[in-house]
């Protein structure tokens, strides 16, 4: 994401080559992954920043050169701050269960042509909206730790504060999977990079508890899309020498694979009407987790969950909601939880709670 933090782009290029080679050699694990998973890899989100850092080279580029895009934006502060919008709505007295807890709309200022938004950020947001992503990671360098959202502290003026999402347990699991399988990060006697001893937290941390970042990609993904995303700080050195890159790849190989495999942890299925048509935009709500997700265009959905028993409700405007129990097992395969919804009658429609759901006000965003 930051142009001068080069390890992420290099390990993804290694990873692409590895996937293709192993697929051709019929490695069963890779065949299983590729056949069951839609994979997108973006080696560089800030190519202009990389060019700037590259001109100086690995020894001289330093902390900041190439971090920002050509216009000077730090891309990990450049996404719309939806946290403030949601938290402000929660401050208004009323039934908290009626506050929209997902798919928070973009604030109006963000769409203005002269808004301080990088073309890279806009391109990535367009990409996030086009494809129903489920799981993601964005790569950085300069330390060794895995951060999970929220990245922004609540209250928003605090420099650091533990600020968990409603899916904190899943995020901690996802982060631990990456951190504990990273060959260098997981070494119990590894050196501390720059003062923060993340080993005492097993190399995972809530982003806001490290340093509060408004407008991060992780927070935006969680609040505007169905996607769960974490940040991985890959190495102490942002721009190591070329000779170190094969080792960096080996350090991350298992982590990348096992992290991707986590996308199959939880439940998935299709929400249909009685005529077998998929219902797009149907809400999937899990009892006890105040964060819903929505079905994609064909009515299909994926909901990451840790193993356990869950009460899951599917609801859509104009239909009667349906609740069923879904059990997530330990075996790495998602549980299929399909739903069939019946249309509401006229009298049902007048009592539809979805039509009463409080929308978060769009104008309350901070610039
Ligand atoms: Zn970074």
> How far from the centroid of its chain's Cα atoms is residue 266's Cα?
15
Average pLDDT for residues 114-119, to the nearest whole number? 94
What distance in angstroms lies between residue 61's CA and the mean position of ligand 1's atoms?
14
Average pLDDT for residues 179-186, to the nearest whole number? 97
Average pLDDT for residues 115-132, to the nearest whole number? 96
pLDDT per residue as tens digits for the range 17-37: 999 999 999 999 999 999 999
Average pLDDT for residues 187-195, to the nearest whole number? 90
- Other C-beta atoms closer than 10 Å to the C-beta of 309 total 8
Instruction: Give the active site residue among 233, 248, 261, 350.
Output: 233
Mean pLDDT lowest among 169-178, 310-319, 327-336: 327-336
Q: How confident is the model at residue 367 (pLDDT cuts 50, 70, 90)?
A: very low
Q: What b/e readout covers 281-302, taking b as 16+ CB neighbours within 10 angstroms?
A: ebbbbbeebebbbbbbeebbbb
Which of helix, strand or coil describes residue 115? coil
Q: Which residue has the tokens 């580029």?
A: 61
Q: What's the pLDDT score for residue 365?
A: 36
Return the structure tokens found at 88.
């402000």
What distance in angstroms lies between residue 177's CA and the mean position of ligand 1's atoms?
20
What distance in angstroms lies between residue 240's CA and the mean position of ligand 1's atoms?
14
> Cβ distance 251 to 236 under 8 Å?
no
What distance in angstroms lies between residue 264's CA and the mean position of ligand 1's atoms?
28
Q: What's the pLDDT score for residue 57?
A: 80
Residue 161 contacts by C-beta under 8 Å, 6 or more apart in sequence? 153, 154, 155, 208, 209, 212
- Taking only Cα atoms into account, the Rg of the chain, rounded to an integer number of angstroms, comes to 21
Mean pLDDT lowest among 248-252, 309-313, 359-363: 359-363
What distance in angstroms lies between residue 114's CA and the mean position of ligand 1's atoms?
25
Q: What's the pLDDT score for residue 332?
A: 80
Average pLDDT for residues 163-190, to the nearest whole number? 96
The whole model's pTM is what?
0.93
Q: Is the pLDDT at 232 greater than 70, yes or no?
A: yes
Q: Is the pLDDT at 285 greater than 50, yes or no?
A: yes
Mean pLDDT lowest among 51-55, 126-130, 152-156, 345-349: 345-349
Q: Is the pLDDT at 41 greater than 50, yes or no?
A: yes
Q: How confident is the model at residue 362 (pLDDT cuts 50, 70, 90)?
A: very low
Terminus-to-terminus CA distance in the chain, angstroms?
A: 22
**Which one has a higher pLDDT value, 99 or 60?**
99
Return the structure tokens found at 284.
């999937």
Mean pLDDT lowest among 24-33, 213-222, 325-334: 325-334
Q: What's the pLDDT score for residue 64?
A: 82
- Residue 10 annotated to the active site: no
Domain positions in the chain: 7-78+116-264, 267-356
CA torsion, ordered 241, 242, 243, 245, to nearest 10 deg:
100
Q: What b/e readout covers 39-62, taking b as 16+ CB neighbours within 10 angstroms?
A: eeeeebbbebbbebbbeeebeebe
Peptide bond into 348 cis (omega under 30): no
Q: What's the pLDDT score for residue 348?
A: 73
Q: Is the pLDDT at 46 greater than 90, yes or no?
A: yes
Q: Is the pLDDT at 189 greater than 60, yes or no?
A: yes
Q: Are strands 204-206 and 143-148 parallel, antiparallel or unpaired?
A: parallel
Q: Is the pLDDT at 225 greater than 50, yes or no?
A: yes
Q: Report the CATH fold assignment for 267-356.
A: Immunoglobulin-like (2.60.40)
What distance in angstroms lies between residue 20's CA and the mean position of ligand 1's atoms?
28
CATH of 7-78+116-264, picked from 3.30.470.10, 3.65.10.10, 3.40.630.10, 3.40.50.10480, is: 3.40.630.10
């Amino acid at each position: 994401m930051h142009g001068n933090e080069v390890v992420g782009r290099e390990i993804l290029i290694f990873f692409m080559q590895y996937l293709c080679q192993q697929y051709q050699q019929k490695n069963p694990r890779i065949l299983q992954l590729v056949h069951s998973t839609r994979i997108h890899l973006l080696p560089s989100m800030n190519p202009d920043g990389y060019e700037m850092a590259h001109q100086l080279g690995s020894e001289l580029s330093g902390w900041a050169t190439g971090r920002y895009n050509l216009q000077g934006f730090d891309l990990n502060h450049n996404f719309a701050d939806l946290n403030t919008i949601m938290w402000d709505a929660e401050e208004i007295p009323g039934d908290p269960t009626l506050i929209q807890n997902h798919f928070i709309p973009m604030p109006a200022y963000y769409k203005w042509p002269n808004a301080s938004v990088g073309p890279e950020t806009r391109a990535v947001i367009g990409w996030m909206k086009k494809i129903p992503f489920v799981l993601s990671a964005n790569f950085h360098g300069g330390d060794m730790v895995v951060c999970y959202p929220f990245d922004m502290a609540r209250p928003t003026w605090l420099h650091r504060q533990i600020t968990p999402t409603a899916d904190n347990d899943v995020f901690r699991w996802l982060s631990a999977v990456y951190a504990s399988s990273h060959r260098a990060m997981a070494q119990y006697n590894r050196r501390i990079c720059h003062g923060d001893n993340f080993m005492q937290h097993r190399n995972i941390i809530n982003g806001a508890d490290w340093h509060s970042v408004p407008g991060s990609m992780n927070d935006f993904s969680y609040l505007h899309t169905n996607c769960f995303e974490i940040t991985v700080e890959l190495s102490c050195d942002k721009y190591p020498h070329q000779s170190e890159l094969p080792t960096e790849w080996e350090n991350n190989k298992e982590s990348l694979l096992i992290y991707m495999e986590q996308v199959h942890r939880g439940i998935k299925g299709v929400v249909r009407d009685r005529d077998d048509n998929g219902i797009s935009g149907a809400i999937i709500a899990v009892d006890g987790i105040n964060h819903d997700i929505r079905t994609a265009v064909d009515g299909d959905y994926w909901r990451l969950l840790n193993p356990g028993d869950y009460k899951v409700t599917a609801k859509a405007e104009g239909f009667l909601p349906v609740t069923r129990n879904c059990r997530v097992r330990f075996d790495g395969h998602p549980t299929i939880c399909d739903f069939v919804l019946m249309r509401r009658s006229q009298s049902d429609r007048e009592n539809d709670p979805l039509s009463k759901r409080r929308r978060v006000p769009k104008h309350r965003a901070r610039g």
